[in-house]
Amino acid sequence: MRSITKLELQYAHRFYKFQGEAQYLHGHTGILTLEVEDSIEPGVNMVYPCNEIQKVAWNVLKNFDHALILREDDPLLPAILGVYEKQGIKDGAPSNKMKGPAFRTELATAYPDCRLVVTKETMTVEGMIKMVYELLKDKLNIVKITFTSGVNAATQEYAPGKSIDRCPLCGVALVNGVCPKCGYRKA
Ligand SMILES: [Zn+2]
Ligand SMILES: [Zn+2]
């Protein structure tokens, strides 16, 4: 069975060198749907608590929220960093609190201090799905990701991974046989 959850991400981007309006900087509210598949954990009668899927995903994905997402070869990148630098906000600001841990994958690098994500490919809805899968595939048994942003939408399915041991009291993934939430220990 599947547990399905949605997250909202507000971001600015552009399609560098794309022949259309999207080559200009603009913003979106994107809706990300994550589908996690596994057996039902009998203790909680759930595959995985949806609010816990949100927590795991948000911890990483909040770096995309209220962020600027630019391709690595986009000349806006040095220009914007120059402005942030002059303004003294490049390396953080007291009001910039919603930061996840910085990450670097094959497809994306997050700079949470200046709310910037630099991507290898153009950040289309398809591109976002690839980045999200890469960031979350080892944390959750993701079998489907859907991302919609304005009139654009894309979806991708993945082969189900192995079953993850979950806490019979909380439903969250056990870490080395111990529940990180309640301390339950697998016998
Ligand atoms: Zn757009
Ligand atoms: Zn627990």
Q: Is residue 166 part of a domain?
A: no
Domain CATH for 107: 3.30.479.10
Q: How far apart are CA 173 and CA 158, in angstroms?
A: 20
- Six-digit token string for 178: 């111990």
Distance 26 CA to ligand 1 centre (A): 6
Q: How far apart are CA 92 and CA 78, in angstroms?
A: 17
Ligand nearest to the CA of 127: 1
Q: Is residue 170 part of a domain?
A: no
3-state secondary structure of 92: coil
Q: Is residue 122 part of a domain?
A: yes
Q: Is residue 80 part of a domain?
A: yes
Q: In terms of residue numbers, what domain contains 86?
A: 2-157
Q: Is residue 98 part of a domain?
A: yes
Q: Which of 69, 185, 46, 59 is nearest to 122 (CA)?
A: 69
Q: Is residue 118 part of a domain?
A: yes
Q: What is the dihedral of CA 40, 46, 48, 50, to 10 degrees?
A: 150
* Segment among 11-20, 140-149, 160-169, 175-184 with least mean pLDDT: 160-169
Q: Is residue 187 part of a domain?
A: no
Q: Is residue 62 part of a domain?
A: yes
Terminal CA-CA length for the chain: 25
Render pLDDT for 56-100 as a digit per residue (tens, 0 to 9).
Answer: 999 999 999 999 999 999 999 999 999 999 999 999 999 999 899
∠ CA 136-55-129, nearest 5°, is 35
Distance 131 CA to ligand 1 centre (A): 16
Which residues pair with residue 108 across a beta bridge?
Answer: 119
- Counted domains in the chain: 1
Ligand nearest to the CA of 177: 2
Ligand nearest to the CA of 178: 2
Average pLDDT rounded to a whole number, residues 140-151: 96
